[in-house]
Structure 1
Amino acid sequence: MSIYLTAILKSKKDKIQDLKSILDNMVLNTKKEEACEKYELQQSLDDEAVFIFHEIWKSKEGLDAHNQQPYIQEFVEKVPDLLEKPAEIYLAKLV
């Protein structure tokens, strides 16, 4: 069963480029992962501080493995200083 994930991140106004740099690196590396079917990063037209990930994973195990990658761990370590509030994460399945 595929796992659908949407993540919404709101950067601090003075940290937008710092966050975008980390997110771009995540996209570059994540797209190489076997379990990754889709990994898109979007930036809001209404608020440049808002970033949205749309992801599709082949399995829960693949998503779990993704979350252990060094570039994801770097994100987890650095993101609290870059975000206005905690990321909103939504996991879903097709119905």
Structure 2
Amino acid sequence: MVAMTAVFAILKARPERVGQVQQELLELKRLTREEVGAVGYEVFRGDDGVFLVFEHYVDRSACDAHFATPYVSAFLARVPELLTGEPQVQFATEVSDSNPS
């Protein structure tokens, strides 16, 4: 059985770009939810312009396909103007009884 893949990302928006980053992340959410291998894409807003994004894909291949889309590439290319630094991103594989290691 193929294990699900999750992505956890922390993004810190520049103070003058918080609203724009929020709108762009919501658009990424909309587009991602239309992808074949996407299970979920949630955006949370914390204090001081921090955004937490949780993404869930059927497998790593679907996750890789997501990051290869033109809209994700375009967003990532604009990180220097939108964020205070690079996003902190962690990839994880689902742990289950059928996938113990």
Tell me, yes or no, whether TM beats 0.5. yes
Preserved contact between residue 19 and residue 79 of structure 1 (Cα < 8 Å): no
| Runs of 4+ residues deviating >4 angstroms | none
**Mapping of residues 1-95 of structure 1, within 5 Å:** 1-44=3-46, 47-95=47-95
Number of aligned pairs? 93
Q: Tell me how far 1:28 sits from its aligned partner.
A: 0.7
Give the 3-state SS of the residue equivalent to 1:20 in structure 2: helix
Q: Which has the larger radius of gyration?
A: 2
Give the RMSD, CA atoms, in angstroms.
1.1
Aligned-partner residue type, residue 55 of structure 2: E
Q: TM-score, normalised by structure 2?
A: 0.86
Q: TM-score, normalised by structure 1?
A: 0.91
Q: Tell me how far 1:24 sits from its aligned partner.
A: 1.2
Aligned-partner residue type, residue 73 of structure 1: S
Preserved contact between residue 9 and residue 50 of structure 1 (Cα < 8 Å): yes
1:11-69 per-residue CA deviation (whole Å, 9 max, x = no partner) reads 0111101211211110110001111111101111xx14010111111111111111111
Q: Tell me how far 1:94 sits from its aligned partner.
A: 2.8
Q: Structure 2: 5+ residue runs without aligned partners?
A: 96-101
Identity of aligned residues (%): 27
